[in-house]
Amino acid sequence: MIRQLLNAALLLSAFAISGCTVFPLPEPPRIMDLAYDGGPADLSQTHNITLRVETPLASAPFDGAQILIKPTPYELQAIGKARWRDNAPVMIRDHIISHVRTSEAFRNVIVDTSPASAELTLVSELTAFHVRQQNREGHVLIQLHTELVHNIQRESVCVRNWRIKEPLDDSGHESIVQGFSNAANRLGHDLTRWVAGCVDSFHNAARN
């Protein structure tokens, strides 16, 4: 008996020295990103101004990197073994910037951490970024409140609420991430046209 205990102690010591463990290591989570469709917004005019895009405000849990599902009106759940590459507000900000820059609607588009000055700022609040399940069917829901602010006059040029719904083919991880990507691309295209239209209306009003 003493010999068996001694052998077990030696075996455990060997594992400790080598850094090995008899327990399986947890599988690292999959890091997911929004797929960018790369399509321009078909805007022919380039405004000679700089636009700053602020990171959207968001409260928990929409300020985190978890991929969320809302199976009931009262509960939010996180998808296991997968998360976003960054928190949701940063994901939305980067996606919007990609669309606005691709459209070439403005001389320059900068992020909120840039020290450069800008004539206009797009501020927003993210209030939904999750999968909603109803009657065994699911869809991605993105809700964003946006304001285009004139930085010198400190007033809102335009204000709009966005509610983007994208149906899902199934409940698999790939389908869910594709649904988020489709919804984010729709938001990026429509918001880019909206911002450009707001600037057109503002400049026309200023000239009259």
In a domain, 87, yes or no: yes
What span, in angstroms and rounded, lies between the C-alpha atoms of 166 and 175?
11
Strand partners, 181: none
**Considering the domain boundaries, does residue 8 fall inside one?**
no
Q: Is residue 125 part of a domain?
A: yes
Domain count for the chain = 1
The 8-class DSSP code of residue 23 comes to S
Closest CA to 162 of 183, 133, 137, 135: 183
Per-residue b or e along 74-88, where b marks 16 or more CB atoms closer than 10 Å to that residue's CB: eeebebeeebbeebb
**DSSP 8-state assignment for residue 57:** B
First to last CA, the chain: 99
Query: What pLDDT does residue 106 have?
Result: 94
* Strand 66-72 with 47-53, pairing: unpaired
Note the pTM of the prediction, 2 decimals.
Answer: 0.84
Nearest to 140 by CA among 54, 69, 44, 55: 69
Domain ranges, residue 115: 26-207
What's the CA gap between 21 and 201, in Å, rounded?
66
CATH number of the domain enclosing 76: 3.40.50.10610
Residue 10 lies in a domain: no
d(CA 130, CA 40): 26
Please name the residues in contact with 82: beta carbons below 8 A apart, sequence gap of 6 or more: 29, 30, 31, 32, 67, 173
| Other Cβ atoms closer than 10 A to 200 | 13
Query: What CA–CA distance (Å, rounded) separates 19 from 14?
Result: 8
- Written as tens digits, the pLDDT of the chain (208 aa) is 555 544 544 444 544 444 444 556 667 789 999 999 986 666 778 899 999 999 999 999 999 999 999 999 999 999 988 999 999 999 999 999 999 999 999 999 999 999 999 999 999 999 999 999 887 789 999 999 999 999 988 889 999 999 999 999 888 889 999 999 999 999 999 999 999 999 988 766 666 5
Residue 99 to residues 20, 61, 93, 189, Cα–Cα distance (Å): 48, 26, 10, 7
Choose among 45, 25, 51: nearest CA to 109.
Answer: 51
Decide if 93 is inside a domain.
yes
Tell whether 7 is covered by a domain: no
Is residue 16 domain-resident?
no
